[in-house]
Amino acid sequence: MGPTSLRVLVFLVTAAFLCAPQVKPQPKAGATASGVFVGRSGKPMAAMRLILAEVTGDQEVIYAKIKLAVNAPSAITDAKGQFNFTAVTPGMYAVLYTPASSSKMIPAEINIKALAAVTKSPLPMLRDTQIGDTGPPNPDRLWGRAFTLLKGHTFYAEGANMKIWNATARFGPLGPHLEIRRGVIVQQQFPDTSPIKLVAWSY
**Each residue's pLDDT tens digit, 155-168:** 999 999 999 999 99
Residue 9 lies inside a defined structural domain of this protein: no
Residue 119 lies inside a defined structural domain of this protein: yes
Residue 11 lies inside a defined structural domain of this protein: no
Distance CA 202, CA 27 (A): 40
Confidence band for 106, pLDDT divided at 50, 70 and 90:
confident
Domain hosting 39: range is 30-200
Residue 17 lies inside a defined structural domain of this protein: no
**pLDDT (0 to 100) of residue 9:** 39
**pLDDT (0 to 100) of residue 166:** 98
Confidence band for 59, pLDDT divided at 50, 70 and 90:
low
pLDDT at residue 12 greater than cutoff 50: no
Residue 12 lies inside a defined structural domain of this protein: no
**pLDDT (0 to 100) of residue 168:** 98
**pLDDT (0 to 100) of residue 193:** 76
Question: Side-chain half-sphere of 171: how many Cα atoms within 13 Å?
Answer: 21
**pLDDT (0 to 100) of residue 105:** 81
**pLDDT (0 to 100) of residue 27:** 37
Number of domains forming the structure of the chain: 1
**pLDDT (0 to 100) of residue 62:** 57
pLDDT at residue 74 greater than cutoff 70: yes
Mean pLDDT of the chain: 85
Query: Would the pTM count as exceeding 0.85?
Result: no
146 and 155 in contact (C-beta within 8 Å)?
Answer: no
Q: Which of 9-13, 25-29, 140-144 has the lowest mean pLDDT?
A: 9-13
Residue 20 lies inside a defined structural domain of this protein: no
The arithmetic mean of pLDDT across residues 137-155, rounded, is 96
